[in-house]
Amino acid sequence: MDSAWLTAAEGGAGYAEHLPGTRPSALHAPSAAEESATLRADSSSGLSYLWHDDLPALPPMTGARLAGLRFKRGMDILLAIVSILIFGPLFVLAAVAVKLSSKGPVFFKQQRVGHRNELFSVYKFRTMYIDRQDESGVAQTTAEDPRITAVGRLLRRTSIDEVPQIINILKGEMSFVGPRPHVPGMLAGGLPYEQLVPYYDLRHTMRPGLTGWAQANGFRGPTIDPIMARQRVDHDIAYVQNFSVWLDMHIIAKTAWREFITGTGV
């Protein structure tokens, strides 16, 4: 499969990153002359972001963006440590509830695609019966999925099942805010996501997040509907282009309300 070089979303000025398995057409960084002639704005995701012809434009690596990304990483580490100290007893209770509710381990580990298209193991509290799990993640979870335990349903409704991903954040594999990490070969509208959305891999130019702009706006759960699946990626791309520390704070606050207070449990 073809590959492309692109300006990294987390590198320095002039720094290039390689995303293996990515088509060049999906990651075109336009020249200054091309930009002035072809860039257009789109605000359908709630954030204005730029397109070059029919593909999203890459965000330039400015000094302010680089400083923001470094500050973001520092805040990730600090918030992860504080979360463990404050909510540690709740995490222990959740672990005990998982263990007592059904046979199997407390944690569930699954391969996901992360920053720069690198694979990593994401951690969650186990919410399914051990003999009904799909470790590949291709079989997506539905609202009344019979594979989910009673405790698992509560953990999913409150998003507490995602809490062990703080481990991934401390390891540098994830951030508190960023595009949600998907399983390899994830389907959207019955097609591999990369076929449905040609610029899908652009979302991997930043670390995946515990939550993101898409989730804060209600895009979570199955990706059966191709239109909504594409909109989910468009929200991720809008976040990549518009990243700022203030936007991260807004996403965390919006997600806390949506998931912990009015979560769907999917």
Give tens-digit pLDDT for 174-186: 999 999 999 999 9
Which parts of 108-266 fold into alpha helices (H)? 150-157, 166-170, 193-196, 213-216, 226-242, 245-255
Q: What is the pLDDT of residues 28-67, one digit of tens each?
A: 454 554 444 455 666 677 888 888 777 888 888 899 999 9
Q: Which domain holds residue 163?
A: 64-261
* Section 130-156 average pLDDT: 77
For residues 27 and 262, the model is more confident at 262
Main-chain phi, psi angles of 48, to 5 degrees: -75, 130
Residue 22 lies in a domain: no
Number of compact structural domains in the chain: 1
Beta strands at 209-211 and 55-56: parallel, antiparallel or unpaired? unpaired
pLDDT of residue 10: 38
77 near 84, Cβ under 8 Å? no
- The reply to whether 189 falls in a domain is yes
Q: What is the pLDDT of residue 45?
A: 76
Taking Cα atoms as reference points, which of 192, 266, 206, 211 lies closest to residue 237? 206
Residue 36 lies in a domain: no
**3-class SS of residue 231:** helix
Whole-number pLDDT of residue 28: 47
Token digits for 264? 């769907």
The verdict on residue 19 lying in a domain is no
Average pLDDT (199-217) is 94
Please report the sign of the dihedral spanned by the C-alpha atoms of residue 3, residue 9, residue 199, residue 209: positive
HSE, side-chain direction, 13 A CA sphere, residue 87? 13
The region of weakest confidence among 2-16, 142-156, 190-204 is 2-16
What is the predicted pLDDT for the residue at 27?
45
Residue 247: predicted pLDDT: 96
8 Å CB contact between 22 and 117? yes
**Collapsing DSSP states into helix, strand and coil, what is residue 203?**
helix
| 40 located within any domain | no
What pLDDT score was predicted for residue 13?
32
Residues 6+ apart with CB under 8 A from 29: 6, 7, 57, 58
Residue 28 lies in a domain: no
13-22 tens-digit pLDDT: 322 233 444 4
Instruction: Name which of 44-48, 87-91, 97-101 the model is least confident about.
Output: 44-48
Residues 210-224: pLDDT tens digits?
Answer: 999 999 998 887 888
CA distances from 68 to 29, 140, 158 (A): 21, 34, 30
SS3 state at 17: strand
Among residues 153, 135, 146, 139, the alpha carbon closest in space to that of 98 is found at 153
Query: Is 17 a domain residue?
Result: no
Instruction: Work out the mean pLDDT of the chain and round it to a whole number.
Output: 82
pTM of the model: 0.80
Q: pLDDT > 90: what percent of the chain?
A: 57
**167 falls within a domain:** yes
Task: Please give the Cα distance from 55 to 48 (Å, whole number).
Answer: 14
Q: How many Cβ atoms sit within 10 Å of the Cβ of residue 235? A: 24
**Residue given tokens 């609202």 in the structure block:** 143
Please state which of the ranges 38-47, 50-59, 105-114, 254-263 shows the lowest mean pLDDT: 38-47
- Alpha-carbon distance of 2 to 30, in angstroms, equals 19
Q: Give the integer Cα–Cα distance in Å for 252 and 177.
A: 7
Residue 170 tokens read as 């401390």
In this predicted structure, what is the pLDDT of residue 49?
81
